[in-house]
Structure 1
């Protein structure tokens, strides 16, 4: 059975999405899947996030779907009920991490300092999200962390087509979270063909 980390490593780029209309989830999912990106991290920044995940899961049962910006245990429950494969949080909240561990459910919490990496390791985690990547020191900071700690990272925040290669070149990086191929205005305007083109470009770039 392929583990979550193996799937992330194969994908290399995880699209991070904020959906304002749950009805957009299926055409958006189609634009991702048909252009080689069989994954999505749907953030709980909008009220319809859980329904969007539900719609995406029903339409694309084999898609790897994460729930991002998870801040409360209630959101963890909502995301799991909607059908996600893993949880992502922007920061390191021991309460949320423990809640997921108690449920034996994968969580990738955000860190951006040595102290937070050590706290994550103390709780038995081996994969963390480096967030916000660029404002937190970018490539150099991540290289410094990777040189010291035996964990793997998923940098997100400021990652783009211009710097994704540098991040992926770091052996400890599994995959990068990115938003550049999913401009919010394009989603709102239903520009699925253009989004598909950007997704295909991103997939080809990291192949």
Structure 2
């Protein structure tokens, strides 16, 4: 599937990638990013997020897009200002992940053709993000709110893709999926700054298997 299809939703229920686990490489450097993204893609991951508070994040996004833009949806996380959108577009990224629901930021990103996963913590924030045009929602931090909130939200939200982000582990992933999430954004339990590539690979394998076991 080409990058344009992987990173575009045709309606509110369509997933933009095949494995709904967004790999969050917070703290990664441009000199490390190629090897870790290689490992993730080889393990079946096709959604990669490099947060804007990572060293040289723009270069890392650009390198990842050049290397895997035809195979994965590459973008930036912790997008909280217009300059981040400018940089993301310049780097060729297509995925924008936010920790909040700034309507102006979401509206601009959507107008620029970006796929937006907006972070929220309440039903009011979720609906605000959807009104602004966000195609996906990100419950953050999920570990604080838990699967019970996911279940309650599903009773009032439209069928928009909902991801659990923040403290999700291979052992807890199934509980969020059962509650109504389509997937998760995975950070600290997948990647820690400076860790070996093999460790990233092993963690990715565990998460993917946890997802597949639940989906079987």
- TM (norm. structure 2) is 0.85
Spell out the pairing of 1:5-84 with structure 2 (5 A cutoff): 5-8=14-17, 10-61=18-69, 62-84=71-93
Displacement after TM superposition at 1:185 (Å): 3.7
SS in 2 for 1:54: helix
Please tell me whether residue 202 in structure 1 is matched to residue 202 in structure 2: no
2: distance between equivalents of 1:152 and 1:7?
10
Helix, strand or coil for the counterpart of 2:164? Answer: coil
Task: State the match for 2:132 in structure 1.
Answer: 123
Check whether the contact 1:19–1:48 (CA below 8 A) recurs between aligned residues: no
Equivalents in 1 of 2:46, 2:40: separation in Å? 6
Does residue 184 (structure 1) correspond to residue 184 (structure 2)? The answer is no
1:96-111 matches, cutoff 5 A: 96-111=105-120
Gaps of 5+ in 2: none
> Are the aligned partners of 1:19 and 1:25 in contact in 2 as well (CA < 8 Å)?
no
Q: CA deviation at 1:131?
A: 0.8
- More deviation, 104-113/115-124: 115-124
User: Post-superposition shift, 1:126?
Assistant: 4.5
CA RMSD of aligned residues (A): 1.8
SS at match of 2:199: helix
Distance apart, 1:20 and its partner CA? 4.0
2:76–2:97 CA contact under 8 A, matched in 1: yes
Structure 1 portions without partners, runs of 5+: none
Offset, 1:204:
1.8
> Can you list the C-alpha shifts for 1:173-194, whole angstroms capped at 9, x where unaligned?
22200121212241xxxx1122
Segment drifting more, 192-201 vs 74-83 = 192-201
How many aligned positions are there? 200
- How many Å separate the matches in 2 of 1:193 and 1:18? 17
Paired with 2:15 and 2:161, the residues of 1 have a C-alpha distance of: 12
